[in-house]
Structure 1
Amino acid sequence: MANSMMVIAPYRYEEMWVFDDPQAGLVQEPFVSGIPQMIDRLVIDIPEADQGFKLIFAQTPFPGYQAQLEWLRPEFGGHWYRWSAEKMDGWLCPALFKYFADAPPQLFCQAEAKSHDL
């Protein structure tokens, strides 16, 4: 396990949640198929989340995590995960493998506000 905790900064673009990660070669990488609804639930109490927020994620639990996603199955090169506590399923595209060698059996996530100062 190279990096045990990772962070990206999703934001809304063209009414979709996307993120940039220059180190991973990703620009406006969209979240699709159930994941946007999960993000909406995670950021419900974060003001101006659509302008960007911090999404911390790991394959092991960490203090303050808000969501525990369980691996369901592969499909179209990506993987389906279930957030049982919210009765939601979502598909993570193959960009998942920019962060993990294999699809983790579990993912733990936390959303935090980020500074929007110029």
Structure 2
Amino acid sequence: MANAMMVIHPYRDQGDWVFDDAAAGLTREPFVFGMPEMIDIFVKDIPDAERGFKLYFSARPFPRFTAELSWLREEYEGNWYLWEKTGMEGWLCPALFKYFDKAPEKIYCKAEAGRTV
């Protein structure tokens, strides 16, 4: 069974938001198609977020989550999510399945200062 609460440490690499997760076999895994713009909003109040920050996420609500993403549809083995508060849509690639057995109906997120690269 996967953890109920997960954390990754995204950072900017050559202008792109990426993250590493050795346990999941991911190195410089990029966020694409709407997700970078969402991340820009997540981190707007975090100094030096480009050098790295903590991104907590879960399929269940947790204390002080700041974003709720709702599943929209599957496309090209990835999944589109809507951040209703902003009207923004973003695509999560199949790396999502390194953390979830299936695409969750909701993903709850919170960004905070942490680790720098």
Q: TM-score, normalised by structure 1?
A: 0.96
Say whether 1:96 aligns with 2:59: no
Q: Kindly indicate whether the alpha-carbon contact (under 8 Å) linking 2:54 and 2:115 is maintained by their aligned counterparts in 1.
A: no
Say whether 1:49 aligns with 2:52: no
Amino acid at match of 2:15: E
Say whether 1:63 aligns with 2:45: no
Question: Which residues of 2 match residues 2-41 of structure 1 at below 5 A?
Answer: 2-41=2-41
Gaps of 5+ in 1: none
User: C-alpha distance in 2, partners of 1:44/1:86?
Assistant: 14
Q: Kindly indicate whether the alpha-carbon contact (under 8 Å) linking 2:42 and 2:110 is maintained by their aligned counterparts in 1.
A: yes
Amino acid at match of 2:109: C
Gaps of 5+ in 2: none
Task: Report how far residue 115 of structure 1 moved.
Answer: 4.6
- Per-residue displacement from partner, 1:75-112 (whole Å, max 9, x unpaired)? 01000000000110000000000000000000000000
Partner of 1:78: 78
Task: Report how far residue 2 of structure 1 moved.
Answer: 2.3
Please tell me the root mean square deviation across aligned C-alpha atoms, in Å.
Answer: 1.2
Q: Secondary structure, in 3 states, of the residue corresponding to 1:19?
A: strand
Runs of 4+ in 1 over 4 A off after TM superposition: none
User: C-alpha distance in 2, partners of 1:96/1:114?
Assistant: 22
Q: Secondary structure, in 3 states, of the residue corresponding to 2:36?
A: helix
User: C-alpha distance in 1, partners of 2:30/2:115?
Assistant: 22
Q: TM-score, normalised by structure 2?
A: 0.97
> What count of residue pairs does the alignment treat as equivalent?
117
